[in-house]
Amino acid sequence: MVLTYFLVRFDIITLFPDFFTSPLSSGLLGKAIVKELVTVNLCNPRDFTFDRHHKVDDESYGGGVGMVIKPEPVFAALESLPMLPNRLVLMMSPQGETMSQPLFWDLVKNYEQLVIICGHYEGIDERVMSVVDQEISLGDFVLTCGEIPALTLVNGVTRLIPGTVGKIDSLKQDSFESGLLDYPHYTRPPSFRDLEVPAVLLSGNHQKIAQWRYEQQLHRTKTKRPDLYAAWLELQADTSNSDEV
């Protein structure tokens, strides 16, 4: 059975918890935490080391450039966390599934706890993967740390939880929710530096406004993201064929 809006807790395993200090106290994400819609716990593997310098990395077996995060502190950090029902352990990695809106919806609807492991340096000892359920990527590029995609994931998932965004209907109009990009938005003044708000938006005719917005979504998607537009056309064709059966 699919559970709707089940997620309540993030556990982020990070060597740099200070990275999250400002983002987790700002904007809608900060408000969601204050309202206890979600809990975000930061867990530092350095706290589970016992040497004088709290060393968490070492040279790579077989040689090579860069240092590798040791397995012991990561395992210890993970095992220190409570285990809620429907927990998922994620590794932030460029080798993982690229973040997307459907992925965010899946996470928020089906999991009560997300444990996010942030990589660093040359990487993490491969044995850590034995306790990872899924790898997640921000895109086909490499960053200096896993904290950046981790924060993106927390933000993207949290905003889908009821009570985070003021008007729930605004989520339905987001880019990617319908398979199309969002339409243009305008506000006052109606004229600014000879740039005019489209007349249809000032007409008060809601049917024409809805049609204009839909046409803008199609145009934007076709122009900016032809790959997304092609996928949308294919989905429409599949839906049409299933209706005819």
Active-site annotation, residues: 94, 122, 159, 174
| CA 174 – CA 168 distance, rounded (Å) | 11
Contacts of 145 (CB under 8 A, 6+ apart): 16, 19, 118, 119, 120
CB 104 within 8 Å of CB 152: no
Q: Which of 176, 212, 159, 217 is nearest to 27 (CA)?
A: 159
Give 137's strand partners. 98
Peptide bond into 189 cis (omega under 30): yes
Q: Which of 102, 108, 96, 177 is nearest to 139 (CA)?
A: 96
* Residue in the block written with tokens 């990527």: 137
**Token pair of 178, please?**
């319908």
- Using a 10 angstrom Cβ sphere, with 0-12 exposed, 13-18 middle and 19 or more buried, the burial of residue 60 is middle
Residue 31 to residues 24, 35, 36, 111, 148, Cα–Cα distance (Å): 9, 6, 8, 21, 20
